[in-house]
Amino acid sequence: MNPWHFVIAAYAFALGSTGLLLILSWRAMRRAEAQDEAVKRR
Amino acid sequence: MHGYANPARFLRIARPATAWSLGAGLALVSISVLAGLFITPPDYVQGDSARIMYVHVPSAWLGMAGWSGLAVAALAQLVWRHPLATIAGRAIAPVGAMFAFICLVTGSIWGRPTWGTWWEWDGRLTSMLILFFLYLGYIGLASAERERGTEGRMAALFALVGLINLPIIHFSVKWWRTLHQGESVSFIGGGSRIANEMEWPLHLATIGFALLFAAIVLMRMRAELATVRAEARLRRRSAE
């Protein structure tokens, strides 16, 4: 049983999940703030 | 504290804080991942599989810290009834749930080569799984209350009641000596049983992931505040 397979799987899952939530939250924030600005300017 | 609960003042601090915590978090996590994978020595018993510690342990601590943050926000919401506390609670919950889930999955991956099993109904594993379910319960309750347009007091009470699970998780390795190893890192009294060359990347990873946790929470709070402001502007205009 090669331990590196387990190490890589654990790091990929941890970093992938954090990165995904980071990107989704960033996009949601940018979209909401742009929408707020658009409503303000209207 | 009340001064910072003002949404306009909060946003003045949150905008630069988001960028700083994101940048510093990404830098620290990158350094600690490289150190954990290539610089630190393998464990003398567990070998290279112990490297999973650098993502597993910070996610366990942050899963628990997230619930503590949720409880503080719930207390502020119930005592001062400030809407920013409600928004903070809703922003923290999915991030805390994600770190609790990362802890469970990476622990399971670590368990297979170390214990020979993916899962065991051990005290620490089970109490951590309960924490994850508590997060799901809070998210469900908070979104149901939001749809109904209520203040979210039930979710806040749920967050306070759920605090009981945190000491259970912490002491589970002392109360039920089953499969999960005992405490290796201690912040009180300098009782850590981990070599220095393995300890510093662990603390670096914890600070890095904590900064990313904070950045995500700030982003989610800013998104919700922007949505609330846009809705309020539209309502005001339609009333004029």
ipTM of predicted complex: 0.95
What CA–CA distance (Å, rounded) separates B61 from B200?
A: 16
**Any CB–CB contact under 8 A between B229 and chain A?**
yes
Contact between B219 and B90 under an 8 Å Cβ cutoff? The reply is no
**In the predicted model, is pLDDT for residue A41 greater than 90?**
no
Residue B130: inside a domain: yes
Q: Give how far B226 is from chain A: nearest CA, Å.
A: 5
Tell me which residue has tokens 């469900």: B140
Contact between B6 and B83 under an 8 Å Cβ cutoff? The reply is no
SS3 (DSSP) at B220: helix
Q: Which residues of B fall within a CB distance of 8 Å from A1?
A: 113
Confidence class for position B191, pLDDT limits 50, 70, 90: low
Confidence class for position B189, pLDDT limits 50, 70, 90: low
**In the predicted model, is pLDDT for residue A17 greater than 90?**
yes
Contact B233 A14 (CB under 8 A): no
Confidence class for position B240, pLDDT limits 50, 70, 90: confident
Residue B128: inside a domain: yes
Q: Give how far B29 is from chain A: nearest CA, Å.
A: 9
Contact B52 A31 (CB under 8 A): no
Of A7, A14, A32, the CB nearest to B227: A32
Residue B28: inside a domain: no
Task: Please give the pLDDT value at position B72.
Answer: 96
Of A6, A31, A35, the CB nearest to B49: A6
**Any CB–CB contact under 8 A between B33 and chain A?**
yes
What CA–CA distance (Å, rounded) separates B152 from A16?
A: 31
Residue B32: inside a domain: no
Q: Which residues of A fall within a CB distance of 8 Å from B48?
A: 3-4, 7
Domain that holds residue B218: 54-176+185-239
Q: Give how far A41 is from chain B: nearest CA, Å.
A: 11
Mutate to test the interface with B, among A1, A4, A7 (most CBs of B within 10 A): A7
Residue B24: inside a domain: no
Which residue in chain B is spatially nearest to A14 when comparing CA positions? Answer: B102
Q: Give how far B24 is from chain A: nearest CA, Å.
A: 14
**Any CB–CB contact under 8 A between B205 and chain A?**
no
Q: What is the mean pLDDT of chain B?
A: 91
**Any CB–CB contact under 8 A between B19 and chain A?**
no
Residue B15: inside a domain: no
Residues B14-48: pLDDT tens digits?
Answer: 999 999 999 999 999 999 999 999 999 998 888 99
**In the predicted model, is pLDDT for residue B224 greater than 90?**
yes
Q: Give how far A39 is from chain B: nearest CA, Å.
A: 6
Which DSSP helix (H) or strand (E) runs through B176? none
Residue B10: inside a domain: no
The stretch B177-188 carries a mean pLDDT of 73
Residue B74: inside a domain: yes
Q: Is A2 left (phi over 0), alpha (psi -120 to 50) or beta?
A: beta
Q: Name residue B47's beta-bridge partners.
A: B43
Cβ-defined contacts of B210-213 (< 8 Å, 24+): B210/B25, B210/B58, B210/B62, B210/B65, B211/B21, B211/B22, B211/B24, B211/B25, B211/B28, B212/A18, B212/A22, B212/B21, B212/B22, B212/B25, B212/B26, B212/B29, B213/B62, B213/B65, B213/B66, B213/B95, B213/B99
What CA–CA distance (Å, rounded) separates B217 from A25?
A: 8
Residues B136-153: pLDDT tens digits?
Answer: 999 999 999 988 877 789
Question: What one-letter code names the amino acid at B92?
Answer: I
Work out how many domains chain B is built from and give that number: 1
Question: What does the buried/exposed string (b/e) look like for A3-20 if buried means 16 or more CB atoms within 10 Å of the residue's CB?
Answer: beebbeebbebbbebbee
